[in-house]
Amino acid sequence: MVRRLPTFKGYTVDVRTRQFRKAEPGKLIEFIDFTSEEGMKLIQEMEANSEAITTYQGENPNEVAYMADKAMRHELSYRRRAAEQSAVNVVDDMNEAS
């Protein structure tokens, strides 16, 4: 089954890939990660103006905004934990080398 994703301000909202995408004829496809400054701003706008979200599969626009925010926060948390673990590994490597 083909699934048509929700849209907001001309962007397709893809919670699975955690991206906004805009495709216009004659232009390159624009990708905006949820975790980028512009992506976080779009998510805030979606939450404040959920009636501007267009859905095609009967989704609740508020739920779309909530899921985008949740996906963005999850990705930021994952990146923070990965960076912390990387720092721990560097310290461990330094201790083993001395």
Secondary structure of residue 2 in the 3-state scheme: coil
Q: Is the pLDDT of residue 3 over 90?
A: no
Q: How confident is the model at residue 67 (pLDDT cuts 50, 70, 90)?
A: very high
| Whether pTM exceeds 0.85 | no
CA distances from 13 to 2, 64, 69, 89 (A): 15, 8, 11, 36
In this predicted structure, the answer to whether residue 97 has a pLDDT above a threshold of 80 is: no
**Mean pLDDT of the region 53-65:** 92
Q: Which helix (H) or strand (E) holds 62?
A: helix 61-97
- Indicate the domain borders of the chain: 7-97
Q: What would the mean pLDDT of 6-32 be, rounded to a whole number?
A: 96
- How much is the pLDDT for 47? 94
Cα–Cα distance measured from residue 41 to residue 24, given in angstroms and rounded to the nearest whole number: 21
CA distances 93 to 19, 54, 82, Å, are 35, 51, 16
